[in-house]
């Protein structure tokens, strides 16, 4: 057992024997461990403070948990966080690292690729219900944990900066992707216009509801939402876009064989059907009308973020090999092309649902 991890964990849970502490999951941002004690299991996480301001993050978590209790929700949407001895939701260790402990969700499945239609429908339903819960929260009590997280204009500018700062060898290696990114900047331009018209309702949203952040009960009766770090003010169409991005391609985000990355209409229909069935009374006309643009924007922005990180030498996303971010960018752009080819069919489905 790693003494440092034990000591940290003891701040939260000190009356159970620790059996093991193991690295867990494959998140890109935080360091995640599974702690097994003689009576239970927990998720121990070191929060990446280069990405998140921990004080703001914990403020938002408190809002979530307080609201969850006061609104008397009958559905369990997300795992609980444990309090430490002082009643706080995180601690700082002697090196200044921030740590927290969450309830481990048992008998659940996580997927990087949707295994079947039922799962895609359930993903949509679970996020729709979660959005209905978020709609009841006080927007002003949430602090932006990552300002401009989905700001299309800023994302494009950062990409341009990465391109300017990049070594020419990296730019040549990514020539087709860089060209594609530059030729399709209309996507972020359009989205920026929509946002500056202020027609989309400001809501509290998840902002990162990719498939891996939805945990499914083994009996497929329900699903939980995790990775709540980016919950803040945002727009629902980007949440839907991120689900489409991660669910409809039926391939891993870092699939090298692009022939496997294809837009699957059946899974799209299932996901959208599940999501809208929960949100019929809350989704606005302006959201409905711009949801297609939201899908394009989220996938395009994710593509240029991976590409920009590749061009800058992989500072942000964890990588297993130097071209990892370029490979991830390619899957995004492939899916984007497929979706653009299906524009008429997708829009007509969205209009009739
Ligand atoms: P991301 O790349 O999505 O930003 P992250 O580094 O923020 O990831 P999380 O998504 O919070 O990390 O957690 C990493 C993985 O650990 C998840 O994909 C999930 O499989 C698992 N996990 C996290 N929290 C729990 C929990 N409470 N119960 C069970 N498994 C969990
Ligand atoms: Mg995650």
Residue pair 162/244 in contact (Cβ under 8 Å)? The answer is: no
Q: Which residue matches tokens 């994710």?
A: 302
CB-count burial class (<10 Å; 0-12, 13-18, 19+) for 265? middle
Q: What is the Å distance from ligand 2's center to 116 Cα?
A: 21
Query: What integer pLDDT is reported at residue 28 of this predicted model?
Result: 78
Query: What integer pLDDT is reported at residue 116 of this predicted model?
Result: 97
Q: What is the Å distance from ligand 1's center to 261 Cα?
A: 24
Give the residue among 243, 154, 152, 253 at the shortest CA–CA distance from 195: 152
Q: What share of the chain is helix, strand, coil (3-state, %, to 5)?
A: 50, 10, 40
Query: What integer pLDDT is reported at residue 73 of this predicted model?
Result: 80
Give the residue among 230, 233, 232 at the shortest CA–CA distance from 209: 230
Query: What integer pLDDT is reported at residue 318 of this predicted model?
Result: 86
Helix 285-311 vs helix 175-183: crossing angle, to nearest 10: 150
Q: Determine if ligand 1 sits within 6 Å of the CB of residue 29.
A: yes
Q: What is the Å distance from ligand 1's center to 110 Cα?
A: 9
Gap between the Cα atoms of 103 and 278, Å rounded: 27
Structure tokens at 182: 């530059």
Could you list the pLDDT tens digit for every one of the 353 residues in the chain?
Answer: 899 999 999 999 999 999 999 999 887 789 999 999 999 999 999 999 999 999 999 999 999 998 898 887 888 899 999 999 999 999 999 999 999 999 999 999 999 999 999 999 999 999 999 999 999 999 999 999 999 999 999 999 999 999 999 999 999 999 999 999 999 999 999 999 999 999 999 999 999 999 999 999 999 999 999 999 999 999 999 999 999 999 999 999 999 999 999 999 999 999 999 999 999 989 999 999 999 999 999 999 999 999 999 999 999 888 999 999 999 999 999 999 999 999 999 999 999 88
- Report how far Cα 180 is from the mean position of its chain's Cα atoms: 24
Q: What is the Å distance from ligand 1's center to 276 Cα?
A: 26
* Residues whose Cβ atom is located within 5 A of ion ligand 2: 27, 213, 227
Gap between the Cα atoms of 160 and 165, Å rounded: 9
* Most informative mutation of 35, 43, 49, 123 for ligand 1 (most atoms within 8 A of CB): 43
Q: Whose CA is nearest to atom 10 of ligand 1?
A: 227
Q: What is the Å distance from ligand 2's center to 299 Cα?
A: 17
Gap between the Cα atoms of 71 and 81, Å rounded: 18
Whole-model pTM: value is: 0.94
Pairing between β-strand 108-109 and β-strand 91-92 as defined by DSSP bridges: unpaired
Q: Which ligand is nearest to the CA of 43?
A: 1
Query: What integer pLDDT is reported at residue 343 of this predicted model?
Result: 98
Gap between the Cα atoms of 248 and 149, Å rounded: 23
Gap between the Cα atoms of 8 and 46, Å rounded: 10
Residue pair 6/65 in contact (Cβ under 8 Å)? The answer is: no
* Most informative mutation of 21, 24, 81, 227 for ligand 1 (most atoms within 8 A of CB): 227
Query: What integer pLDDT is reported at residue 209 of this predicted model?
Result: 98
Q: What is the Å distance from ligand 2's center to 44 Cα?
A: 14
Q: Which ligand is nearest to the CA of 100?
A: 1
- Report how far Cα 200 is from the mean position of its chain's Cα atoms: 20
């Amino acid at each position: 057992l790693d003494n440092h991890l034990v000591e940290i964990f003891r701040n939260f849970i000190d009356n159970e024997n620790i059996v093991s502490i193991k690295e867990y999951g494959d998140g890109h941002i935080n360091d995640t461990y599974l702690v097994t004690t003689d009576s239970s299991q927990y998720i121990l996480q070191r929060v990446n403070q280069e990405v998140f301001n921990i004080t703001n993050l914990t403020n938002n978590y408190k809002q979530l948990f307080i609201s969850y209790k006061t609104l008397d929700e009958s559905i369990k949407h997300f795992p609980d966080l444990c309090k430490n001895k002082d009643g706080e939701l995180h601690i700082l260790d002697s090196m200044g690292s921030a740590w927290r402990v969450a309830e481990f969700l048992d008998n659940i499945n996580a997927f990087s690729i949707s295994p079947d239609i039922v799962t895609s429908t359930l993903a949509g339903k679970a996020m729709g219900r979660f959005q209905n819960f978020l709609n009841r929260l006080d927007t002003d009590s949430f602090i932006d944990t990552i300002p401009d997280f989905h700001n299309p204009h800023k994302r494009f500018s950062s990409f341009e900066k990465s391109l300017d700062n990049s070594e020419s060898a990296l730019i040549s290696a990514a020539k087709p992707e860089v060209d594609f990114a530059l030729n399709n900047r209309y996507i972020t331009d359009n989205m920026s216009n929509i946002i500056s018209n202020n027609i989309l309702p400001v809501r509290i949203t998840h902002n990162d509801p990719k498939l891996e952040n939805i945990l499914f009960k083994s009996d497929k009766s329900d699903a939980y939402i995790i990775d709540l770090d980016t919950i803040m003010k945002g727009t629902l169409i980007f949440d839907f876009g991120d689900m489409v991005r991660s669910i409809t391609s039926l391939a891993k985000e870092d699939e090298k064989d692009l022939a496997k990355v294809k837009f699957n209409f059946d899974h799209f229909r299932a996901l959208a059907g599940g999501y809208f069935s929960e949100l019929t009374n809350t989704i606005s006309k302006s959201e409905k009308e711009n949801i297609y643009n939201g899908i394009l924007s989220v996938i395009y922005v994710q593509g240029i973020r991976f590409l920009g990180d590749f061009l800058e030498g992989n500072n942000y996303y964890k990588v297993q090999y130097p071209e990892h971010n370029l490979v991830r960018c390619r899957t995004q752009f492939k899916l984007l092309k497929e979706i653009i080819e299906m524009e008429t069919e997708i829009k007509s489905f969205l209009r009739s649902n």
